[in-house]
Amino acid sequence: MKKMIVIGIILLFIGSGLVQGFNRNEEISIQKQNRNINRIEWWNGDWFYRKEITINHNDVADSFSNFPILVKHASADFADNAQSDGDDFVFIYDDNSKLDHEIEYYNSTDGELIAWVNLPYLSSTEDTIIWIYYGNSECGNQQSTGDVWDSNFKVVYHMNYESGGLIDSTSDDNDCNTIIGSPDYEQDGKVGYAIDFERSSNDAFEDGDILDGLDEMTVEAWINLESYHTSHCVISSHEDAWYFLVSQEYHSVRFDVHGGVSGSAAEDDSPCPLDTWYYVVGSWSDPENRMRLFGNGELKDTYSETLSMLNSNYHFTVGYKDNQGNHFDGLIDEVRVSNIERSEEWINTTYINQNNIESFLDFGEQEKVNFAPYVPGDPNPYNGENDVIINIELSWVGGDPDGDPVTYDIYFGNVTPPPKIVDNQSEETYTPATLDFETTYYWQIIAWDNKSAFSEGEIWEFTTMIDHNPEAPEINGPLDGKIRKIYPYNFAAEDPDGDDVYYEIDWGDGIVDSWIGPFESNKIITRNHSWAEKGNFIIKARAKDIYGAIGDWGTLEVTMPKNKQINFQFNFLNWLYEQFPYAFPFLKYILGI
């Protein structure tokens, strides 16, 4: 039974220590959370700058997964702090995860950035927050172009090329490399650069058999038509499978899917505007038996078609129809083809994002990386120091690399980990109450800046000094005399630690001077005393330092009164002593007695 009680007590102590440590760590965690309300922690300290980007949920028609948004922003902050090629731009989600992005254009002179960012989740009920980080001069290219576009995108052409064919941004690499005519590159587009297709020059692009025989599809583009013509102006097509064009009859945008019946199409209800950017989308769904046509994000027409899309023996094209011509006349930007029917809400949100970027996105002010305060160091007393005085002033070295104001939480005690005794102190010193001798103390400093970053110093320890007892006092004065006559006596005791001392003097006649002082160590003090009765008396004295350590007794024996058989010589000597008490030892030496 006793053994079980002992084990229980041991476990209780261990448990108490664990709980104390847990509570302390929990306290630090809670304090950190309280100081970081409504803030996302800095993603990576190698990136020195960031801006918050808020996506207006009112411009999002529905909630989506893996939605690619356009981020377009010009800032002198980018020009001043980002790499000249924009390799260091990084987009971060609100959970501090890295987002896939593709840079379509960056100008380091004026800081204009055009990028596409894939959002794992885009909410229509609350604003979505992401961050753009930059200002890392050492990193490589952070883009992950193919991952921006989900697997349903089969073609994404930004039309921002200096020359050559159309380069697909998806992971399928469906480039359109055959150039027809002499297209004009790097023209002002809707998003970035566009390509100008001159009908008179038969400008166009074509490549292999890649987008036919689909059960579903969506084709989209920004077009800026220069003029109407007596034959179709084809935006993109796959001859015998589908066509996306401006019709010759009504000058309206039309989307055709050929399942063996000519003339089956969804068509806009008004002519395509001239010299104006117009966002057009055609979609096909075999399961739904429908074709749909959208203009500027609005559904314009739906046409039912029960036959499936044919496979084609011709090329996929942009700017004309293979085997028939019908070249486009104007600017084309942002051509995309998906192998699914995109929803009306997806198309509407895409249009708003690209057409009214100022409403869709809001950029915050530039923020600079906040480095945590320096880890507190250089402690006084140093870690592991012994013989530390008990009225020590603790000190340390702190500070902040950003020059931010710093406050300190102080943990101190004779247990580890020590409890917190002070918080939000700005000074780098602290004086605890008088400590106990021969005791080990533990202390720790946690530094906080005004942006809620903190650095936790290590737990230091030191042991206080031993309090040595003062030595026994030396007592000097007359060894005999007359009763009721006052005699002076000198007392002096040295303290090994140099502490001031008190004296307790027992005159041997029942009178005690109790703890007079304090006096400096080893300094002579004089006390007067007289005895009322005859006899031999032992004067005893001992010293106590200011911390309570008491030394041994010192003694001196005196006789009152002196012997009656003394002769004249001793009467004379007694008279000398009474007149010159301090000189008496010297006079005895001179007189040889």
Q: What is the pLDDT of residues 575-589, one digit of tens each?
A: 665 666 666 565 555
Q: How many CA atoms lie within 13 A of 375 on its CB side?
A: 4
Question: Could you give the CA distance from residue 159 to residue 390 in angstroms, rounded to a whole number?
Answer: 78
Decide: pTM greater than 0.75: no
In angstroms, rounded to a whole number, what is the distance separating the alpha carbons of residues 55 and 268?
A: 30
Beta bridge partners of 527: 489
Render pLDDT for 502-553 as a digit per residue (tens, 0 to 9): 999 999 999 999 999 999 999 999 999 999 999 999 999 999 999 999 999 9
Domain map (residue ranges) of the chain: 1-36, 72-148, 157-277+307-341, 474-562, 567-593
HSE, side-chain direction, 13 A CA sphere, residue 506: 12
Which three-class secondary structure state does DSSP give residue 5? helix
Element (H, E) at 137: none
Residue 18 in this model has a pLDDT that exceeds 90: no
- Residue 477 gets the label, from left (phi > 0), alpha (psi -120 to 50) or beta, of left
**Amino acid at residue number 88:** D
Four-point Cα dihedral 441, 447, 453, 459, nearest 10: -20
What pLDDT does residue 17 have? 45
Give me 41's structure tokens.
């922690």
Sheet of 204-207: strand order equals: 178-180, 204-207, 316-318, 233-238, 242-246, 253-257, 265-267
Q: Please report the pLDDT score of residue 306 as a whole number.
A: 78
| Distance, C-alpha 589 to centroid of its chain | 84
Burial class (CB in 10 A: 0-12, 13-18, 19+), 15: exposed
Distances 48 to 83, 106, 121 between C-alpha atoms, Å = 12, 19, 27
For 268-277, what is each residue's pLDDT tens digit?
Answer: 999 999 999 9
Share of the chain above pLDDT 70, in %: 87
CA 253 to chain centre: 52
Closest by Cα among 244, 293, 296, 304 to 266: 293
In whole numbers, what is the pLDDT of the chain averaged over residues? 89
Question: What is the tens place of the pLDDT at every residue in 179-200?
Answer: 999 999 999 999 999 999 999 9
3-state helix, strand, coil in the chain (%, to 5): 15, 40, 45
Confidence of residue 293 (pLDDT cuts 50, 70, 90): very high
Contact yes or no for 344/161 (Cβ under 8 A): no
Q: Give the pLDDT score at 29.
A: 55
HSE, CB side, 13 Å, CA atoms: give it for residue 171: 9
Provide CATH code, domain 157-277+307-341.
Answer: 2.60.120
DSSP secondary structure, 293-345, as one string: EEETTEEEEEEE--SPPPP-SS-EEESSBTTTB----EEEEEEEEESS---HH
What pLDDT score was predicted for residue 273?
A: 97
User: Is 309 or 572 the better-scoring residue by pLDDT?
Assistant: 309
47-62 pLDDT tens trace: 999 999 999 999 999 9
The better pLDDT of the pair 222, 242 is held by 222
Indicate the fold that domain 474-562 takes in CATH: Immunoglobulin-like (2.60.40)
- What lies within 8 Å, CB to CB, of 483 at 6+ separation is 530, 531, 532, 533, 534, 560, 561
Question: What is the per-residue burial (b if ≥16 Cβ within 10 Å, else e) of 380-416?
Answer: ebeeeeeebebebebebebebebebebbbbbbbeeeb
Distance separating alpha carbons of residues 221 and 281, to the nearest angstrom: 7
Rounded Cα distance, 103 and 215, in Å: 32
Smallest CA-to-CA distance from 555 within 522, 514, 506 is with: 506
Give the closest residue to 482 by CA, choosing from 383, 564, 382, 593.
564
Given a cut of 70, whether residue 288 has pLDDT beyond it is yes
Band of the pLDDT at 399, cuts 50, 70, 90?
Answer: very high
Q: What tens digit of pLDDT does each residue of 77-112 get?
A: 999 999 999 999 999 998 999 999 999 999 999 999
Query: Burial of 227 by CB count in 10 Å (0-12 exposed, 13-18 middle, 19+ buried)?
Result: exposed
Report yes or no: 64 and 122 within 8 Å, Cβ to Cβ: yes
Q: Any idea which of 2-16, 231-245, 545-559 has the lowest mean pLDDT?
A: 2-16
pLDDT band, very low/low/confident/very high, at 309 (cuts 50, 70, 90): confident
Q: How confident is the model at residue 26 (pLDDT cuts 50, 70, 90)?
A: low
355-383 mean pLDDT: 96
